[in-house]
Structure 1
């Protein structure tokens, strides 16, 4: 059974002193001029579903200027229950709530996962590898609590090992940190590889719908080499790679191999999409990736995510707009922001709730 977001309400949040947004279980289109707060509302939806924001704001940035406290609430319904996810802003801090009780980001994450597609995503293929790793990880942590714990533990271990490499490179403790990093990193690699395999199945199919005469692919490239099958084998490979690079790592004071340095590579017809893909091909890749995220969520949880399309229609041509709206029509609750309703067909608008931002109660 699907879970849907029914209402977002905010007080002293970003540009809003107060706002209540009732959401359609199907498509809600937020239309208005630039800088009226459409993206702020999308960010609120993402915070209360994913537990994080693509903007990575500080608590003070979320609070309306001049206000001392603020809040956001998201009502969810379905699966035989009603839930309220909340965010409290006060004293330069933020705190999540679930049905009024204090929780962590993990406590709001994953009940209704969200997939965000915004203009910044369109450069995912040509930007640094860290952007593509973050795209995979931010999706994975919404679907699997263990993924989130492993990612956090791995990042802490890398940071602590880097400190040791800089300050005490001859310490006997380094070997113990190597073993800890290899064990945690191997588990994270297994999660990443499994998730990317799921994404790849849908990604290839969706891309072929957009560009039938091209052959796309996506692959995980590990800095420890070709990965073995089991966790123990991967951990052993990781440990060997760390020992092999020890001299370089001590010299630079950095951990040079592991999931934090890995690459997710896209190809079209066997050629690097980053190096040789046209802008149109790179955008098709991102579009196919985002739609694949929707389908993988449906595969794993048995229900679709909340799809957030923030001002991307103006960045896509008619073919790509048609492709994404075709998937939206497949029972995916969607919130879209735009400055121009002309990007949408009459059929889409007839079935959508259109809200003019600037006139919300």
Structure 2
């Protein structure tokens, strides 16, 4: 089973002066009107598990109005272990700790990883490529600390190269040096991403067939280095990337940005051989997004040896009955899940009987 969240406590966090929630081992439903603090609670759970927030807030945004600091803390228990994780916001900075010792945000998923599903994720298929890349990379950085380090190093290298490309008097030798750094970092990232995508795509297709009633989904990776990049090892990818950077240097100088590399890649979902982004119905697109999140939970359990925390923020209201039933069946497999909603009518009596229901906004 691995670690479970036994208690979440907040102090001067977002809208809360104080809050304590004790999630169940199975499903916990946070119910209440809009703006009652349900999403703030989910955000706090993501902060102390993923080390980041889907809202991308500034640290001061996490502090309750009128307060000088904020705290989100969780106690994790399981397999004979007790782990206390915490995020403090002090002097405009976030500080993370585990069992009382300072740590990096990227260290937190090593204790308990989380997978978040919000209404915005339902549009993942039809949104721009950057959203799908971010989804894959956000999963990768939680599932493997090495992935997080590689992604961070490549991102910094691309930023530096792009900054140099904007210089009106670019030094070619300096650009050569950054080309070497970018091609090595990009090859390392691409090799890791393709390996991760290969495992995830297989599960997405299987889950989609279950959710959709048997429709066939194919998942592919669109690489700006060309299909020949797929299957190459890191050294061959580095050579291929370096050649592409050299070939497109004039274009990059003209556009003042790096136009090829993993930061420009995309993933594609095909239903019946047709691109779901362009030809899929809204229901099909949402089923793909749902299948992707479910697949992430399954793959995380394989990689880490323990099931991640699943956070569902107000998505039930956006799903039809068939997809809501699929979610209910999935979380019933022993996954610790926190769901927010304004309406308990979206849930079956059986689920509510077994769930911990926490009401928000009551006076």
What range is the shorter-chain TM-score in?
Answer: over 0.9
Deviates more, 1:194-203 or 1:166-175: 166-175
SS of match in other structure, 2:311: strand
Contact 1:218/1:267 (<8 A) preserved: yes
Q: Work out whether residues 83 and 111 of structure 2, in 8 Å CA contact, stay in contact via their aligned partners in 1.
A: no
Residue 305 of structure 1 corresponds to 308
- Ranges in structure 2 where 5+ consecutive residues have no aligned partner: none
Report the alpha carbon displacement of residue 171 of structure 1 after superposing the two structures with TM. Answer: 2.6
2:35 is matched with 35
Question: Aligned equivalents of 1:213 and 1:307: distance in 2?
Answer: 25
Per-residue displacement from partner, 1:177-230 (whole Å, max 9, x unpaired)?
A: 111111111111111111111111111111111223422111111111121421
How big is the shift at 1:79? 2.8
| 2:256 paired residue number | 253
CA shift digits 1:203-259 (9 cap, x unpaired): 111111122342211111111112142111111111111111110001111111111
Q: What are the within-5 Å matches in structure 2 for residues 143-162 of structure 1?
A: 143-162=143-162
Which digits, 9 at most, give the CA deviation of each residue in 1:308-358, with x for residues without a partner?
010000000000000111110111000000011111111111111111013
Q: Residue by residue, what CA displacement relative to the aligned partner does 1:267-319 show, whole Å, maximum 9, x if unpaired?
A: 11111111111100000000000000010011111211000010000000000
Taking the TM superposition and a 5 Å limit, the aligned residue runs for 1:1-361 are 1-167=1-167, 168-226=169-227, 227=229, 228-359=231-362
Q: After TM superposition, where is structure 1 displaced by more than 3 Å over at least 4 residues in a row?
A: none
CA contact under 8 A between 1:217 and 1:267: conserved in structure 2? yes
SS at match of 1:257: coil
In structure 1, C-alpha distance between the alignment counterparts of 2:56 and 2:34, rounded to whole Å = 21
What is the distance in 1 between the residues matched to 2:237 and 2:76? Answer: 40
SS where residue 269 of structure 2 aligns?
Answer: strand
Contact between 1:224 and 1:257, CA under 8 Å: does it hold in 2?
yes
Residue 14 of structure 1: how far off its partner (Å):
0.3
- TM-score when normalising by structure 2: 0.97
Asked if structure 2 preserves the Cα contact closer than 8 Å seen for 1:219 and 1:265, the reply is yes
More deviation in 91-100 or 24-33? 91-100
Query: What's the secondary structure of 1:109's corresponding residue?
Result: helix
Rounded to whole Å, the distance in 1 between the matches of 2:62 and 2:277 is: 34
Kept in 2, the 8 Å contact 1:50–1:110? The answer is no
Distance (whole Å) between structure 1 residues aligned to residue 265 and residue 40 of structure 2: 32
CA RMSD for the aligned pairs? 1.2
Greater mean alpha carbon deviation, residues 177-186 or residues 94-103: 94-103
CA contact (8 A) 2:241 2:261 kept: yes
Partners in 2 of 1:98 and 1:359 — Cα distance?
33
How many aligned positions are there?
360
SS of match in other structure, 1:88: strand
Q: How far apart in 2 are the matches of 1:150 and 1:16?
A: 36
Q: Which runs of 5+ in 1 are unaligned?
A: none
Partners of 2:207 and 2:291 within 8 A in 1: yes
TM-score by length of 1: 0.97
CA distance in 2, matches of 1:212, 1:35: 36
Q: Secondary structure at the match of 1:332?
A: coil
